[in-house]
């Protein structure tokens, strides 16, 4: 694929990832469609899709400061939360018809309280997320899915039948299969796309109508299958962390010669690696089982670190990773502890690992360049 063709193929995805409002969402709204924002990859977005709504994952993209949000959050709250809420206070999220929050961490949990008191979004719900991944928690979350389903039906005056929910599950599973195919291309010795391009595609999937996104991704995959790959790199890297939605962060890493070939981040593999059971007799329970046990878990889930470590090692092996970059948002206690354990596990396996703390906005590019350059050199790359 030539340079011009590559740029054109990724243009729509880059646009959707690089701004809050994008043409696909604008067209959806212009046609009378309703949009519901959501925090965290544990939110059962299939329920929203089954109701004819557009799920939109919350981000702080485009934020240049937190001066408004700082009146509601302390300076030791993570900058992802502060930048995202700052955009909401500025009116950038006024297009939302609803918002679903989740008790994923204390920082995100407080968004709900402040949003409820200060913004007039018509539909506002919070989901109680368990902290373990056993069968008892699946039952708990099945009830949470049912409560959300009923609330959506009542507020938006729609009926979410089991069949409509199954249709939504199939549609979302189609997205996951296409995204897995995109990741399979990155296993090649010369992958036809960079890590930054992949992240843009993944973020776009949380900010576009699902059917439209699937069709665009199918067209992209068709172009990539026979395309020339990336060969001018020093090392194959993996990114591990939480809320990473900025392709510019990966661009800085890849400018130093480290090609990002896979990840374990919330906007990446964690959101699509496995599938929801399409044949289950109870689609609500199928969703609960997927979001509690099916997808790779978050560090907030107690007792599941061995499974997360096994997933990490599988990715290192399958994508032939030379080194792992652990990115962490400042003041995130969960990922601080998780990266400590990742460091021990990877050291035992002989895999180079570096921990990088960052703010939400990609401002400290010079420091990131220096750290990555040093990391590649210590790897002999």
Q: What is the per-residue pLDDT for 155?
A: 98
Domain of 92, in residue numbers? 3-163
Residue 32 Rama label (left phi>0; alpha psi -120 to 50; beta): left
Residue showing tokens 């036809």: 192
Q: What is the per-residue pLDDT for 380?
A: 82
Q: What is the per-residue pLDDT for 4?
A: 65
**Nearest-angstrom CA–CA distance, 207 and 34:** 13
> Would residue 213 count as lying in a domain?
no
Reported confidence tier of residue 111, pLDDT bands at 50, 70, 90? very high
> Would residue 313 count as lying in a domain?
no
> Would residue 84 count as lying in a domain?
yes
239: DSSP letter: E
> Would residue 301 count as lying in a domain?
no
> Would residue 15 count as lying in a domain?
yes
- Lowest mean pLDDT, pick from 6-15, 150-159, 292-301: 6-15
> Would residue 97 count as lying in a domain?
yes
The set of residues, in sequence order, having a beta carbon less than 8 Å from that of 60 and lying 6+ positions away, is 79, 80, 82, 83, 84, 86, 87, 360, 361
Position 7 pLDDT exceeds 90? no
Q: Tell me the per-residue pLDDT of 225-270, one tens digit each, with 9 for 90 and over.
A: 888 888 899 999 999 998 899 999 999 999 999 999 999 999 999 9
Check which CATH number belongs to the domain holding 106 and give it. 3.40.50.11890
The pTM score is 0.96
Q: How many domains does the chain have?
A: 1
Q: What is the per-residue pLDDT for 230?
A: 85
Q: What is the per-residue pLDDT for 84?
A: 97
Residue showing tokens 């373990």: 132
Mean of all residue pLDDT scores within the chain: 94
Percent residues over pLDDT 90 in the chain: 89
**3-state secondary structure (DSSP) of residue 124:** strand
> Would residue 41 count as lying in a domain?
yes
Q: Tell me the per-residue pLDDT of 294-313, one tens digit each, with 9 for 90 and over.
A: 999 999 999 999 999 999 99
> Would residue 372 count as lying in a domain?
no
Position 364 pLDDT exceeds 80? no
């Amino acid at each position: 694929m030539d340079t011009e063709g590559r740029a054109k193929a990724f243009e729509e995805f880059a646009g959707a990832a690089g701004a809050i409002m994008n043409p696909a969402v604008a067209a959806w709204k212009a046609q009378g469609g309703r949009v519901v924002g959501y925090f965290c990859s544990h939110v059962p977005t299939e329920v929203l899709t089954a109701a004819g709504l557009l799920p939109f994952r919350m981000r702080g993209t485009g934020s240049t400061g937190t001066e408004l949000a700082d009146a509601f959050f302390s300076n030791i709250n993570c900058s992802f939360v502060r930048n995202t809420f700052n955009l909401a206070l500025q009116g950038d999220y006024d297009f939302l018809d609803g918002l679903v929050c989740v008790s994923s961490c204390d920082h995100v949990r407080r968004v709900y309280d402040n949003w409820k008191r200060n913004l007039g979004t018509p539909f506002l719900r919070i989901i109680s997320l368990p902290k373990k991944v056993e069968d008892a928690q699946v039952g708990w979350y099945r009830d949470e899915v049912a409560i959300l389903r009923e609330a959506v039906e009542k507020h938006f005056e729609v009926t979410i039948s089991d069949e409509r929910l199954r249709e939504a599950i199939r549609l979302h599973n189609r997205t996951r299969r296409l995204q897995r195919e995109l990741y399979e291309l990155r296993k090649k010795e010369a992958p036809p796309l960079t890590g930054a391009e992949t992240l843009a595609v993944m973020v776009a999937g949380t900010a576009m109508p699902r059917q439209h996104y699937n069709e665009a991704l199918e067209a992209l995959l068709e172009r990539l299958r026979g395309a020339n790959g990336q060969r001018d790199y020093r090392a194959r890297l993996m990114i591990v962390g939480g809320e990473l939605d900025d392709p510019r962060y990966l661009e800085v890493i890849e400018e130093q010669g480290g090609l990002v070939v896979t990840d374990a981040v919330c906007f990446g593999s964690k959101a699509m690696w496995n599938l929801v059971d399409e044949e289950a007799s109870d689609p609500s329970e199928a969703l609960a089982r997927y979001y509690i046990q099916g997808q790779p878990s978050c560090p907030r889930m107690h007792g599941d670190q061995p499974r997360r470590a096994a997933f990490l090692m599988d990715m290192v092996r399958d994508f032939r990773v030379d080194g792992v970059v652990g990115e962490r948002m400042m003041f995130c206690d969960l990922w601080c502890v998780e990266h400590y354990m990742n460091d021990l596990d990877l050291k035992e396996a002989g895999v180079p690992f570096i921990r990088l703390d960052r703010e939400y906005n990609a401002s400290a590019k010079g420091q990131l360049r220096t750290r990555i350059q040093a990391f590649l050199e210590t790897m002999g790359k």
